[in-house]
Amino acid sequence: MPTQAPRQIAPALLSPALNRRHVLVGSASALAAAGLSTWSPCAAAQAKPLPAFASWKDATATIVHSATTIETKRSAFGSSVITPTEQLYVRNNLPTPDAAVVANRDAWEISIEGVGKPRTLTLRELKTLGLETVAMVLQCSGNGRGFFPSKPSGTPWTVGAAGCVVWSGVPVRAVAEALGGVDGGMRFMTGTGGEKLPEGLDPKSIIVERSVPASAMVDALLAWEMNGVAIPLAHGGPLRLIVPGYTGVNNIKYIKRLAFTAHETDARIMSHGYRVSPPGGKGDPSQPSVQEMTVKSWINSPGPDSTALEKGRMQVGGVAFGGMHAVKRVEVSVDGGKTWADARLVGPDLGKYAWRQFVLDVRLPAGPHVLASRATDVMGNVQPQQRLENAAGYNNTSWADHALTVSVA
């Protein structure tokens, strides 16, 4: 079959709005002003070291924001579907537990409640009840916060608080069935983390405890393995609740309690935290909770670290996912969204919860080009142009925010 000729697309004319948000590749000062990562000898010297619990991470592929927040560099995603564990982002709401919790993984205990025969099970016992594997996008609720002009408090993530990960463990539904089934009237599945809580505080004010609809148990796992190895301490080992399609905070690390409940937990991280509040407002139970993810994509290559791009043929590629639904289509624009062309989905399809890689073969003339991608899921939901403005900078799926400006010589 003859090779299809690369698509010719006219050079972009930068709009004032895009000029404010995006930067020319190679311009370190502009990159910094836009909140995008850039590298220089000075910046490298000032880079924060990896925290001890994640010292095994790849320092060249990550950005350390704080002792509990580590971002994957946009340029590090590469062209493989699965995100290597040493590059995957870290976001912990509480200090990481002592490494002693993974010294004897099989002895870890979890209490199962809201079932016919509630009891405490060890990880060793869980392993006898079933096994499944799922590939899914793990993404922090605040991924893309760094693009908000309002500069919400919290880590200014761009795209790197996400990754595509393979988890293995026992299906939650199998555990519930083994213990007599879920009790009637239980509308929620509530997970409680096993982090050590600071003394002198109301536990409900600080504990990591989240509720999701009980229907989420259909695909949920109690996972002990990640990307083929035991889950590292940094990512919630020895045992983590995995709820495919839901944002990271709902995937409870160090899970010690899984309860089917009639009501949502009243823990503050649920009742007031991770709520989509209006700009200037504060979270409360009346506002939408950050739970299911929606369709999103972004371009990784050529990216903000690309230099010396020469005019002519090149491959524009990135990742796309639908959250709760599979990706059906990805379009790419090289003129800031004025015109679009269908990209090709490449690599293996690992299921509806995983992301898909896409690529568009183009020829770019010399000059600046605004690269953007727009995904559509199988339900017909289209990635929006604009972000949903909110106080905490959650759920940014804007294709305009995630666009990149590159300069071709």
Residue 148 reports pLDDT greater than 80: yes
Neighbours of 369 (CB within 10 A): 27
Query: Which of 6-10, 47-51, 288-292 ranks highest by mean pLDDT?
Result: 288-292
Give the tokens for residue 191: 């997970």
Q: pLDDT value at position 163?
A: 98
Q: How many CA atoms lie within 13 A of 255 on its CB side?
A: 31
Q: How many CA atoms lie within 13 A of 155 on its CB side?
A: 25
Q: pLDDT value at position 39?
A: 32
Residue 306 reports pLDDT greater than 50: yes
**Structural fold of domain 7-36+294-408:** Immunoglobulin-like (2.60.40)
Q: pLDDT value at position 21?
A: 33
Please, which residues have CB within 8 angstroms of residue 202's CB and are 6 or more apart in sequence?
none
Per-residue pLDDT reduced to its tens digit, 37-92: 333 333 444 689 999 999 999 999 999 999 999 999 999 998 899 999 999 999 99
Sole residue written with tokens 């796992």: 221
pLDDT range class, residue 259, cuts 50, 70, 90: very high
d(CA 327, CA 320): 7
Q: How many CA atoms lie within 13 A of 186 on its CB side?
A: 21
Q: pLDDT value at position 47?
A: 82
Strand 209-213 and strand 221-226: pairing?
Answer: unpaired
Please, which residues have CB within 8 angstroms of residue 128's CB and are 6 or more apart in sequence?
none
Per-residue pLDDT reduced to its tens digit, 222-249: 999 999 999 999 999 999 999 999 999 9
Q: pLDDT value at position 36?
A: 34
Q: pLDDT value at position 2?
A: 42
Residue 204 reports pLDDT greater than 60: yes
Which H/E stretch holds residue 43? Answer: helix 41-46
- Rounded mean pLDDT, 300-313: 86
Q: Where are the domains of the chain?
A: 7-36+294-408, 90-271
Longest alpha-carbon distance in the chain:
71
CA 192 to chain centre: 20
The per-residue pLDDT of the chain, averaged, comes to 90
- Rounded mean pLDDT, 142-153: 97
Q: Is the pTM of this model over 0.85?
A: yes
At the fourth CATH level, which superfamily is domain 90-271? Answer: Oxidoreductase, molybdopterin-binding domain (3.90.420.10)
CA-angle at 164, arms to 163 and 168, nearest 5°: 125
